[in-house]
Chains A and B, each alone.
Chain A
Amino acid sequence: MSKVNRATATQSLSVSFAVGLYGIAFGAAGIAAGFSILQTCLLSLLTFSGASQFAVVGVMGAGGSALSGIATASLLGIRNTLYGLRMAPILQVRGWKKVVAAQVTIDESTGVAIGQEDLGIDAMKQGFWLTGIGVYVLWNFFTLLGALGAQAMGNPSAWGLDAAVPAAFLGLVWPRLLGSFERSLAVASLCLAIALSPFIPAGLPIILTALLAAVFGWRAR
């Protein structure tokens, strides 16, 4: 790899730190939902996709089955496939490097890489690897910290963790609510899931809102 571009490196590291810090919130959420420290840390090490991880602990913490948790996480993770499609021709990786590249293909690594387009393909590659590995290391470190902290605290409600988890979801969805179309979908999904909750097994009300997304997305605006 050629000399590291300073602007790319700075951007990669600041994104890594900002995103990695959220690992504390996930670590705490995992413990609050009843997962062990080991399980919470393995979710960060292996699943490594913020929204999907929060979904697993959110759905299963509310009594949903493993299948509901996995299905929700997978639906949220489909975008990573699209990122891989975008990154594959840029990275040109083979063998074990392809495995590592796939594992660190996330919103941020792809976003930073695409952001370096003007600086050339080497800067794009550097942005991808620096951000992907940077977020990976910090996200996992802070997950452990959050999990240990939450374990030490005891009762999740007494520390507000029960509200921190939905607030974390709200913070994740907020930047995506670009217009009234997206906001309508968000409100409709929220209402549908709450309305269905007493009547069908936990987890299903959440998965079913994916159908609402399909209905909304079927017609072009």
Chain B
Amino acid sequence: MTQKDPTMRPDDTPPTRGSALKFLLLIPYLALLWLPFYNDVHPSLMGFPFFYWYQLLWVPLTSLILFVVYRWVR
């Protein structure tokens, strides 16, 4: 296969309903890459300093965001 593959164009389908929700996907990046948000011991939760439970909390939150986008963006 040395030729260009004409089937490989990015799809041209226009944005459909709920596509603004896609911006939700950026939230985990902001929440986790800006360290001043969470580089602290307090408040601690069940013995876990904030730094740890905040990051662990973003695991289900990210799944939830992905689910919302999956469900409502087509």
Question: Do A and B interact?
Answer: no
